[in-house]
Amino acid sequence: MPKSPKARKESSKREREEEPSRKEEGNQTKEMEKKIETVLREIKEDMAGIVEESKIRRKEFAAVREKTGEQEREDMPKSSEVRKESSKREREEGRTSKEGKNPLTNSSRMRRSPNRSEEENQSKEMDKEKKNMIREIRKEIKTLRKELAAVREENGELRKE
């Protein structure tokens, strides 16, 4: 049956009233998607920055380790020099290399041990710092994921309506 002119006008009015709400929904979903994209971009940038910082710290710590290792080497006489000095002492004292020498005592070992413990302490501190940073990053990621899930949920509800 054909509609009366009044019915046509009313239905066209309803359609016009409904159209802006559909456009608004589309705009809202686009805005939400943009927000989600910006949050994800920020997360990626933060993660990239953290990775860069950790690379820089690793390089710095490696440089410190090399410097401390070089200082130890400079302080310690070379093995050939040690042999020459010990053989001179043995000749002066009149004993052979096998007699009267305690094989367990080694001067180079005694010099290295304090520095090694310092290095171990530094590496342990670095490990603790790294673990703390990782914990913080994971917490941030969890909160961001929750926020993202909430935004997606809101976005999904808007689409359903």
pLDDT at 68 over 70: yes
pLDDT, tens digit, 9 for 90 and up, residues 145-156: 988 888 888 887
- Only one residue has tokens 């929904």, namely 25
**Predicted local distance difference test score (pLDDT) of residue 89:** 73
pLDDT, tens digit, 9 for 90 and up, residues 75-130: 665 566 666 777 777 777 765 545 555 555 555 545 555 567 888 888 888 888 88
**Which residues in the chain belong to E strands, given as ranges?**
none
Q: Which residues contact 146 (CB under 8 A, 6 or more apart)?
A: none
Give the burial class of 59: count Cβ atoms within 10 A of its Cβ; 0-12 exposed, 13-18 middle, 19 or more buried.
Answer: exposed
Report d(CA 95, CA 98) in Å as an integer.
8
**Predicted local distance difference test score (pLDDT) of residue 106:** 53
Report d(CA 60, CA 64) in Å as an integer.
6
Q: Which residues contact 101 (CB under 8 A, 6 or more apart)?
A: 95
pLDDT, tens digit, 9 for 90 and up, residues 9-48: 777 777 666 665 667 777 878 888 888 888 888 888 888 8
Model confidence, pTM = 0.30
Tokens found for residue 121: 């302490």
